[in-house]
Amino acid sequence: MSYSQLNDIIKSSKNILVISHINPDGDTLGSICAMSEIIRNNFKKECELLCVSKIPKTYEFLPNISKIKTLESFDKSREFDLVITVDVAAPDRMGDAKILFDKAKSTTNIDHHKTNKGFANLNIIDPDASSCGEVLADIFKGLDWKINLETATCLYTAILTDTGSFRYDNTTEKALKSAADMIAIGVKPSEIYKKIYESSSKNHVLFQAYCISKTEFCENDKVAYTTVFKKDIEKFNAPEDCTEGLTEKLRAIVTTEIAFVVRQLNANMSKVSMRSKSKDVAEICEVFGGGGHKLAAGCVVKCSVEDTIKKILEEIKKREI
Ligand code: 5GP
Ligand code: MN
Q: What share of the chain in percent tops pLDDT 90?
A: 95
Distance 290 CA to ligand 1 centre (A): 7
| pLDDT exceeds 90 at position 298 | yes
Provide the pLDDT for residue 193: 97
The pick from 159, 270, 299 for probing ligand 1's pocket by mutation, whose C-beta has the most ligand atoms within 8 angstroms, reads 299
Starting at the edge strand found earlier in the chain, the sheet holding 216-218 runs 216-218, 223-228, 258-266, 269-276, 296-301, 291-292
Give the angle 305-232-264 at the CA atoms, nearest 5°.
25
Confidence of residue 154 (pLDDT cuts 50, 70, 90): very high
Q: What is the pLDDT of residue 241?
A: 86
Q: Which atom of ligand 1 is nearest to the CA of 299?
A: 19
Q: How confident is the model at residue 1 (pLDDT cuts 50, 70, 90)?
A: low
Helix (H) or strand (E) holding 140: helix 132-142
- What is the average per-residue pLDDT within 113-132? 96
Q: What is the mean pLDDT of residues 3-29?
A: 97
SS3 state of residue 7: helix
Q: Which ligand is nearest to the CA of 260?
A: 1
pLDDT at 258 over 70: yes
- Which contiguous run of DSSP H or E holds residue 16? strand 16-19
Atom of ligand 1 at shortest distance to CA of 275?
2
- pLDDT value at residue 129: 98
Average pLDDT, rounded, for the chain:
96
Closest residue CA from atom 3 of ligand 1: 273
Task: Please compute the mean of the pLDDT values over residues 271-285 and round it to a whole number.
Answer: 97
CA 203 to ligand 1 centroid distance, Å: 25
Residue 29 has pLDDT above 90, yes or no: yes
User: In CATH, what number does 202-317 get?
Assistant: 3.10.310.30
Distance from the alpha carbon of residue 289 to the mean position of ligand 1, in angstroms: 11
pLDDT confidence bin for 314, thresholds 50/70/90: very high
* Separation of CA 168 and ligand 2 centre (Å): 13
Query: Using CA of residue 238, residue 243, residue 245, residue 247, what is the dihedral sign?
Result: positive
Nearest in space to 273 (alpha carbons), one of 289, 297, 292? 297
Model-level pTM? 0.90
Report the distance separating Cα 191 and Cα 169, nearest Å. Answer: 24
Give every CB contact of residue 156 below 8 A, 6+ residues apart in sequence: 30, 133, 179, 182, 183, 187, 189, 192
The 10 Å Cβ neighbour count of residue 180 is 13
Query: Candidates 51, 86, 93: which one to mutate for ligand 1, based on the most atoms within 8 Å of Cβ?
Result: 93
Nearest alpha carbon, ligand 1 atom 6: 297
Give the model's confidence band at 321: pLDDT under 50 very low, under 70 low, under 90 confident, else very high. Answer: confident
Ligand 2 centre distance from Cα of residue 189 (Å): 19
pLDDT band at 43 (very low <50, low <70, confident <90, very high): very high
Q: What is the mean pLDDT of residues 276-301?
A: 95
Ligand nearest to the CA of 243: 1
Please name the amino acid found at residue 140.
Answer: F
Per residue in 247-256, pLDDT (tens digit) is 999 999 999 9
pLDDT computed for residue 56 by the predictor: 93
Residue 221 and residue 47: Cα distance in Å, rounded?
A: 49
**Cα(263) to centroid(ligand 1), Å:** 13
What are the strands of the beta sheet with 68-69, ordered from one edge? Answer: 68-69, 48-50, 16-19, 82-86, 106-111, 122-125
The two most distant CA atoms of the chain are separated, in Å, by: 59
Q: What pLDDT shows up at residue 197?
A: 94
Per-domain residue ranges of the chain: 4-197, 202-317
CB 247 within 8 A of CB 223: no
Average pLDDT of the residues in 296-317: 97
Q: Which atom of ligand 1 is nearest to the CA of 25?
A: 3
Ligand 1 contacts (CB < 6 A) are 89-90, 93, 115, 273, 290-293, 296-300
- Rounded mean pLDDT, 24-45: 97
Q: Tell me: the pLDDT tens digits for 174-196?
A: 999 999 999 999 999 999 999 99
Inform me whether the pLDDT recorded for 14 exceeds 80: yes
C-alpha 73 to ligand 2 mean position (Å): 26
pLDDT, mean of residues 210-214: 98
Atom of ligand 1 at shortest range from CA of 286: 22
pLDDT at 267 over 90: yes
Residues 72-81: tens digit of each pLDDT:
999 999 999 9
Question: What span, in angstroms and rounded, lies between the C-alpha atoms of 59 and 30?
Answer: 9
Which ligand 1 atom minimizes the distance to the CA of 261? 2
Can you give the pLDDT at residue 148? 98
Let me know: does 157 contact 26? Beta carbons within 8 Å.
yes
Nearest Cα neighbor of 18 from 132, 144, 167, 184 is 132
- The alpha carbon torsion through 75, 78, 81, 85 (nearest 10 deg) reads 40
Nearest in space to 289 (alpha carbons), one of 21, 85, 91: 91
Q: How far is the CA of 165 from the centre of ligand 2 (A)?
A: 13
The CATH classification number of 4-197 equals: 3.90.1640.10
- Residue with CA at minimum distance from ligand 1 atom 10: 292
